[in-house]
Amino acid sequence: MNTLGTYKKYTGIEIWKDDFYYKEEMAVDFAIGHSLGANFILQNHDKFKKSKIILVNPLLPRHSCLKWLRSFLKFHWQEGLNPDRQLVKGIKYYITGIWKAYKLMQKDLLSFLDNLPKENVFVIRGKRDCFFWEDSISLMLKERGANLIEIDEVGHNWHAKIDEEIEKIVA
């Protein structure tokens, strides 16, 4: 439940605090989401029709919450949480955040990728993200024609190399 403060170069929607479902189309050039934020963008893909979409380490495909919890615990133990991250504060947001995370993990968001123009969707993945990413996902995305960018030496946490790749895409 990172806030936008974690991603210092970017502004946007605080999905852990703001309305979770948007009724109007978003007028932005790029929609960038990290981890469950990427899942949020896919879930609301119809609101970003005119945007290029950048998904950073999305949680794909759909798994049980128990599997995601095991993955999170392994990630936390081995990769650790990003020391620069800023978390949502307040018990209200924490509790609703857990509910929102659960809802984001319930849908098979891979099917949404098929409905988006391939030239407008970029998936960035840290090659060291071995807790939330399976190699079969890379193969599946490539078969679907997605623009997959894999970065060495990067795990699931946000990293300066992710910023560099985003700068290349938006240039």
Q: Which residue has the higher pLDDT, 9 or 79?
A: 9
- Residue 83 has a pLDDT of 67
Highest mean pLDDT among 78-82, 84-88, 94-98, 120-124: 120-124
Q: What SS3 class is residue 124? A: strand
Q: Is the pLDDT of residue 165 over 80?
A: yes
Residue 16 has pLDDT above 70, yes or no: yes
Average pLDDT over all residues of the chain:
81
Number of domains in the chain: 1
Query: Phi then psi for 136, rounded to 5 degrees?
Result: -65, -25
CB-based burial label for 18 (10 Å; 0-12, 13-18, 19+): exposed
Look up the domain containing 38 and give its range.
4-170
**Quick check: 164 pLDDT over 90?**
yes
CATH code for position 38: 3.40.50
| Sheet strands side by side (includes 121-126) | 30-34, 52-56, 121-126, 147-151
- pLDDT band per the 50, 70, 90 thresholds, residue 73: confident
